[in-house]
Amino acid sequence: MAAQCAAARPGYPPALFDAIEELAGQPLAGARVLDVGAGTGIATQLLAERGARVTAVEPGAAMAAELHAADPAVPLARALGDALPFSADAGFDLVGYAQAWHWTDPARSVPEAWGPLLLKSLGEGAAPRRCTRPVVERSGPGRRLGR
């Protein structure tokens, strides 16, 4: 299934990455980005093409193999988005879940994402609870599958 996913799943429009840069207040070029639930590496590759220094996280062996085959130079950690293998000093500028957020438990994933994230990336006065609350509310269990 991983090979079919790599062949058939569409990419992302350039406007998405423009929006990420605008919301983050920094260019992707040179940014340390953690791509959680990277799958076959679609977002990973597009982020790298924008100059980001991407580390991929993927729990599935077949998906990770496809990602690694596409670009063996990308650092890849085998882990779940609910249990990231990075310490608080990992220093990522951005953490993204692309098409994987719905596989996570937001109550566990949000705190996990904060661990390796540099708080400077959020700008002055940003508070984790204030920044993540809208994300959790929009993607929590009650919102899955169109509920």
Q: 30-53 pLDDT, tens per residue?
A: 999 999 999 999 999 999 999 999
Query: Where do the structural domains in the chain lie, given as residue ranges?
Result: 13-140
Sign of the four-CA dihedral 19, 122, 93, 102 = negative
41 CB neighbour count, 10 Å cutoff:
25
At the second CATH level, the architecture of 13-140 is 3-Layer(aba) Sandwich (3.40)
What average pLDDT score do residues 15-24 get? Answer: 87
Report yes or no: 92 and 75 within 8 Å, Cβ to Cβ.
no
pLDDT of residue 134: 55
Report yes or no: 56 and 77 within 8 Å, Cβ to Cβ.
yes
Between helix 106-114 and helix 128-139 the angle, nearest 10°, is: 150
When the pLDDT of each residue in the chain is averaged and rounded to a whole number, the result is: 78
